[in-house]
Amino acid sequence: MNGQPSKHGVKVPLGISIIACNEAERLPRALASVAGWVEEIVVVINDCSDATAAVAESFGARVVGHAWEGYREQKNFATAQMRAQWVFNLDADEEISAELKRSIVDFLTSPEAKLYEGATCPRCVWFLGRWIRHGDWYPDTKLRLFRREAGRWVDGGGDVHEEAVVSGQVKKLDGDLFHYSFPTLKSHVLKMPLYAENHLRRELASGKKWSLTHTLFRPAWRFFRAYVLKRGFCDGFPGFYIAAATAFSTLLRYSRLYEHKRQNSLPPHLSR
């Protein structure tokens, strides 16, 4: 458990913000990694039917109910509830590692903190029984730590719902933010159609059309990049699976654009 006081037993000027809906099972791991060494923990909940609020309160968190407005606005609302000078946004399926904790504490208690408005850290996924440290999934750098008045959440790109941005310099922290995103293969596969739909909406919004060249070559390129250039092979079979699944997911995305094109070029009675 990482929840120990920081240097000299003094808590660092940091608040943890979490948004959650029915996360009673996953919250304890996330909260245990921050309890005891931060100034405050705020958990914003919506539409919960389990013990999410009780679990959060058992770790000393302040629970705030707020109707769901989407990831971006929900996180901006959570930031607005904070009182601490610095804010770290933590998802319910994440955990601050011991090394990242030390890096955060050292940064926030040093004079150099005055020079920065935010800080990034690498995120490492636990998948198929091991930490994935190569390929497309690592380091997955995230900006999660920022001055409360300097940071905000905006719409992200790719498969990202949202991302934090700041108005000044950003520090790079050591230590991983652990991510337990896909407990099973099924949970990973079920995400692919959602990513394909998001890709379709972005392509259509930007006026792009289906390309046979992209459909044929981009999946192969994604596999080669992830497995060979980014050394996914160092992660054993999980590394191979991730590269292969990424290639298939890419194929699915471009095929979805082709499907949309065909559906809109057929007569109404045949397009169903």
Any idea what DSSP says for residue 136?
A: G
pLDDT of the residue at 127: 98
For residues 8 and 11, what is the distance between their CA atoms, to the nearest angstrom? 9
Residue 2 near residue 28 (C-beta atoms within 8 A): no
| Segment-wise mean pLDDT, segments of 10 residues, the chain, 272 residues | 48 96 98 97 97 98 97 96 97 98 97 97 98 97 97 79 93 98 95 90 88 95 98 98 97 93 67 50
Amino acid at residue number 44: V
Taking only the tens place, the pLDDT of each residue in 2-52 is 444 544 456 899 999 999 999 999 999 999 999 999 999 999 999 999 999
Task: Find the radius of gyration of the CA atoms of the chain.
Answer: 21
Residue 82 and residue 148 in contact, taking contact as beta carbons nearer than 8 Å:
yes
User: Which domains does the chain carry?
Assistant: 7-179 (3.90.550.10), 185-270 (no CATH)
Alpha carbons within 13 A on the beta-carbon side of 123: 20
How far apart, in whole angstroms, are the C-alpha atoms of residue 224 and residue 243? 8
Q: Which pTM value belongs to this model?
A: 0.89
In contact, 43 and 18? CB cutoff 8 Å: yes
